[in-house]
A and B are shown apart, each in its own frame.
Chain A
């Protein structure tokens, strides 16, 4: 079983639609959860972090965390062509210096 597993892509949505990205993780002691956006050939860019159960909204992005189900998701509302990228889910343990473990990523294409 992979430590961090993301829904297989690629995912294609029309402009203006909601894109839904999912991630599950295996380590129950994980404390911190992140979504990064990575454009081709570029570095990961942090777009959302979430630490407690429930929803966290930031502009068009909403992250949802359910620790009991070991599940974290990202919703992108009003998707734009500029949102087309690979989205990486990352999970981190309880220590400040602890590593973040990344999923394989889900590639999103938003079609105009």
Chain B
């Protein structure tokens, strides 16, 4: 069964460092998303991406965040200068446009 894959599964970084989280969406999907979930809290939307551009972003997705689809398969989330409050599980999701989202296993980011 096709699945969304994410790397790394866990990353520990120092505050102020740049982090790149990677995702390989399901191959025939056209819509890509990043969500995050702070421990014990709800799943929050960060950004959606379609046709090589951002479709929608939340207020969480400030100038420290960026997304890219550099090679037609990977979909990346970059955090330029991490803060303690960026510690969370980051989920990539993809959709073929038929409404349903399929999530990857997540990347846990710990900022020290």
Q: How far is the CA of A97 from the CA of B51 in the complex (A)?
A: 10
Which secondary structure dominates chain B's binding surface? Answer: strand
Interface range, B side: 20 to 34
A 87-112 binary contact with B (CB < 8 Å = 1; else 0)? 01010100111111111110000000
Chain A residues, Cβ within 8 Å of B50? 96-97
Interface window among A12-20, A44-52, A58-66, A74-82: A44-52
Per DSSP, chain A at the interface is: loop
* Cα of A101 to Cα of B45 in the assembled complex, Å: 7
Measured CB to CB, the closest approach of chain B to A47, in angstroms, equals 11
Residue from B45, B89, B105 in contact with A100 in the complex, judged by beta carbons closer than 8 Å: B45
Q: Is B103 positioned at the interface, with any CB of A under 8 Å from its CB? A: yes
Q: List A contacts of B58 (CB < 8 A).
A: 99
Chain A residues, CB < 8 A from B97: 96-97
Which residues in A have some Cβ–Cβ distance to B below 8 Å? Answer: 31-32, 34, 42-46, 49, 51, 88, 90, 92, 95-105
